[in-house]
Amino acid sequence: MIASMEEALARHELVKVRFVGLKDERRTLAPELAERTSSLLVQTVGNVAVYFRPSENGSPEETPTS
């Protein structure tokens, strides 16, 4: 799963992950996944988590602002 997440974050700065069948574990897995992929856990809603990691070759204008 980590490799798939790394690949998705390399292509897209924002990635949604659905924790199907892991409802109870989601609260511990979501932040752990962010840590392992050097991404930011932006939001969790239900069993979906949203992650952000700036593109390595992107310009500052392409990154979201608060």
The DSSP 8-state label assigned to residue 60 in this structure reads G
Query: Strand locations in 1-63, DSSP E?
Result: 14-18, 40-45, 48-52
pLDDT for res 55? 86
Name the residue among 58, 47, 64, 66 with its Cα closest to residue 11. Answer: 58
Task: Give the residues of the chain that fall short of pLDDT 70.
Answer: 58-66
pLDDT in tens, 25-34: 888 999 999 9
The domains of the chain are located at 2-55
Give the architecture-level CATH label for domain 2-55. Answer: 2-Layer Sandwich (3.30)
Write down the pTM of the prediction. 0.79
Residue 16, C-beta contacts closer than 8 angstroms, at least 6 positions apart? 48, 49, 50, 51
Residue 60 pLDDT: 46
